[in-house]
């Protein structure tokens, strides 16, 4: 990945003063005086149904412009564990961080749906059909232990930890749900230490899908929460072994291509759901493991800095560096970076990562190739993505909405990050020694993000208003 040609979209520069009033108030007023997190659209995507005679909540998958009414996923179904689990995580964190009891009750109803989709062997179906029966045959729904299982474990484990003091009985039910899933983790780890050469890349066989570092990272977020609750040394061992696999998937460093990026699967990196930095920083902090934290820092400094300065990517095949694509860009590609940088700050207390997290999340407010505000704080909608350098997908489905809300919910806990949400890239330049991005706020303040190409050091230098 070479960064020779530096380009800034003139449209982005022209529009960078156009920011939502609520964002301007947050940026300029007292810290956290106004919240950007609006659950209205997500609440509108939810529905209470009956499963096995018990009320549960689902999240409808799509909502299309301009009406934003529910749209199903065709043969897949109308709702899935993937989105219910992610929404439950958001609501659980909303309660934990702000004490919102209404969010806690919604989380519980979503978790009841997740539990209803778990099988006796700790695996999960994903979709329900429009007749409210489980889709047991579809390839994105079949009983398995992969993406939707990983997200389910994350939601259940977080719920078990957070609800332990407010609803011990339900917390125990969630604990049981996580424990049912653990034999599947143990089964995957039977191949611990076994690797495969894929086009010259050493690949661990003990991750989900035999090299799915992306899906494994979502599972690990749950295992870490479960470990925080139980202090189970066996689970701690699972976390370390799975983290070993994630770190094996890392290539390059701050100075050499591909700059510390963690592969997602086999030889491919993609932005969506690639939560390895978030997981490694979090696990390293919880387990006091400096190697994990160092791996997360390597990706943040070497790769994330380049994405922030040069522009977002969708995917990149490291086996053929020419095979990299910019689009589509989505909120699910922003969250792992932004929240990962926050978890790095938690682990290192380096202000650099707060600034970078704010810049990453500013994609939602116009710091993107279109110069378009992607998240509307007045409605709680997040557009489904940037299709290419000229087109916007104005639909607002569950995934984009949830990922945007989760990003902002976390960002708002850090005044040192939230102040950069109104910043947009103004220019970028490459010298013999540095790759530099200049970001300017709606009020004229400036941040210079600079990567030293010789040492790999990243600096974020604030400057006042231009004279």
Q: What pLDDT was estimated at residue 130?
A: 92
Strands 385-386, 381-382: parallel, antiparallel or unpaired by DSSP? unpaired
Give the mean pLDDT of 368-376: 97
pLDDT at 299 over 50: yes
pLDDT at 15 over 50: no
Residue range 151-170, pLDDT digits in tens: 999 999 999 999 999 999 99
pLDDT at 338 over 70: yes
**CB of 39 within 8 A of CB of 110?**
no
Q: What pLDDT was estimated at residue 213?
A: 97
* pTM for the model: 0.92
Cβ count near 190 (within 10 Å):
9
Q: What distance in Å separates the CA atoms of residue 246 and residue 271, rounded to the nearest whole number?
A: 15
3-state SS track over 153-212: HHHHHHHHHHHCCCCHHHHHHHHHHHHHHHHHHHHHHHHCCCEEEECCEEEECCCHHHCC
What residues have CB less than 8 Å from 132, skipping those under 6 apart? 49, 50, 51
Cβ count near 195 (within 10 Å):
15
Q: Is 419 helix (H, G, I), strand (E, B) or coil?
A: coil
CATH topology of domain 1-15+192-421: Glycosyltransferase (1.50.10)
Q: What pLDDT was estimated at residue 465?
A: 58
Q: Is 356 helix (H, G, I), strand (E, B) or coil?
A: helix
Residues of the chain with CATH 1.50.10.20: 37-187
Residues of the chain with CATH 1.50.10.10: 1-15+192-421
Residue range 20-62, pLDDT digits in tens: 545 554 444 334 458 999 999 999 999 999 998 999 999 999 9
pLDDT at 66 over 50: yes
CATH topology of domain 37-187: Glycosyltransferase (1.50.10)
Phi, psi of 372 (to 5 degrees): -110, 135
**CB of 255 within 8 A of CB of 313?**
no
Q: In a 10 Å sphere around its CB, with 0-12 CB exposed, 13-18 middle and 19+ buried, how is residue 378 labelled?
A: exposed
DSSP letter at 364?
G
- Farthest CA pair distance, the chain: 67
**pLDDT, averaged across the chain:** 92
Q: What pLDDT was estimated at residue 1?
A: 36
**CB of 161 within 8 A of CB of 178?**
no
Q: What distance in Å separates the CA atoms of residue 279 and residue 422, rounded to the nearest whole number?
A: 27
Q: What distance in Å separates the CA atoms of residue 214 and residue 209, rounded to the nearest whole number?
A: 10
361-to-70, 106, 288, 291 alpha-carbon distances in Å: 27, 26, 27, 26
Q: What pLDDT was estimated at residue 107?
A: 98
Q: What pLDDT was estimated at residue 8?
A: 36
Angle among Cα 267, 403, 28 to the nearest 5 degrees reads: 120
Q: What distance in Å separates the CA atoms of residue 175 and residue 112, rounded to the nearest whole number?
A: 13
- The single residue listed with the structure tokens 């099988």 is 119
**Torsion (CA) 257, 262, 266, 267 in degrees, nearest 10:** -20
Candidates 94, 30, 95, 3; CA nearest to 415 is 30
Q: What pLDDT was estimated at residue 23?
A: 56
Buried b (16+ CB within 10 A) or exposed e, 295-309: bbbbbbbbbbbbbbb
pLDDT at 464 over 90: no
**CB of 366 within 8 A of CB of 19?**
yes
pLDDT at 16 over 70: no
Say whether the peptide bond before residue 66 is cis (omega within 30 degrees of 0). Answer: yes
- The single residue listed with the structure tokens 């910019």 is 326
């Amino acid at each position: 990945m070479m960064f020779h040609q530096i380009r800034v979209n003139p449209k982005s520069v022209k529009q960078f003063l156009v920011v939502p009033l609520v964002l301007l108030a947050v940026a300029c007023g007292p810290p956290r005086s106004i919240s950007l997190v609006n659950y209205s659209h997500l609440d509108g995507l939810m529905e209470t149904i009956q499963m096995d005679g018990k009320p549960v909540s689902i999240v409808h998958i799509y909502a299309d412009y301009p009406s934003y009414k529910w749209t199903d996923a065709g043969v897949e179904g109308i709702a899935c564990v993937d989105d219910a689990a992610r929404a439950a995580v958001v609501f659980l964190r909303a309660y934990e961080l702000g004490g919102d009891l209404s969010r806690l009750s919604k989380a519980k109803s979503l978790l009841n749906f997740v539990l209803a989709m778990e099988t006796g062997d700790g695996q999960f179906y994903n979709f329900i059909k429009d007749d409210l029966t489980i889709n047991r045959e579809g390839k994105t729904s079949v009983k398995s232990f992969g993406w939707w299982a990983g997200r389910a474990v994350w939601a259940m484990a977080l719920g078990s930890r957070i609800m332990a003091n407010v609803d011990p009985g339900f917390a125990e039910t969630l604990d049981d749900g996580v424990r049912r899933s653990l034999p599947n983790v143990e089964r995957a780890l039977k191949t611990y230490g076994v690797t495969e050469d894929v086009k010259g890349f050493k690949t661990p066989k003990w991750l989900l899908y035999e090299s799915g570092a992306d899906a494994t990272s979502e599972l690990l977020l749950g295992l870490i929460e479960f470990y925080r609750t139980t202090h189970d040394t066996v689970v701690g061992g699972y976390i370390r072994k799975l983290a070993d696999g994630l770190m094996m998937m890392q290539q390059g460093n701050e100075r050499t291509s591909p700059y510390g990026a963690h592969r997602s699967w086999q030889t491919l990196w993609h932005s969506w759901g690639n939560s390895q930095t978030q997981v490694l920083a979090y696990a390293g902090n919880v387990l006091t493991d400096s190697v994990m934290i160092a791996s997360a820092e390597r990706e943040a400094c070497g790769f994330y800095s380049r994405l922030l300065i040069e522009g977002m990517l969708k995917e990149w095949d490291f086996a053929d560096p020419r095979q990299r694509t910019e689009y589509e860009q989505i909120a699910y590609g922003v969250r792992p970076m932004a929240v990962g940088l926050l978890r790095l700050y938690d682990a290192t207390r380096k202000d650099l990562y707060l600034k970078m997290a704010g810049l990453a999340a500013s994609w939602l407010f116009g710091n993107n190739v279109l110069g378009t505000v992607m998240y509307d704080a007045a409605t709680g909608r997040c557009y489904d993505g940037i299709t290419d350098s000229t087109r916007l997908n104005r639909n607002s489905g569950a995934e984009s909405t949830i990922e945007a809300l989760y990003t902002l919910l976390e960002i708002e806990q850090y005044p040192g990050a939230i102040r950069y949400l109104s910043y947009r890239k103004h220019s970028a330049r490459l010298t013999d020694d540095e790759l530099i991005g200049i970001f300017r706020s709606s009020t004229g303040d400036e941040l210079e993000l600079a990567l030293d190409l010789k040492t790999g050091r990243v600096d974020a230098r604030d400057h006042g208003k231009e004279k």
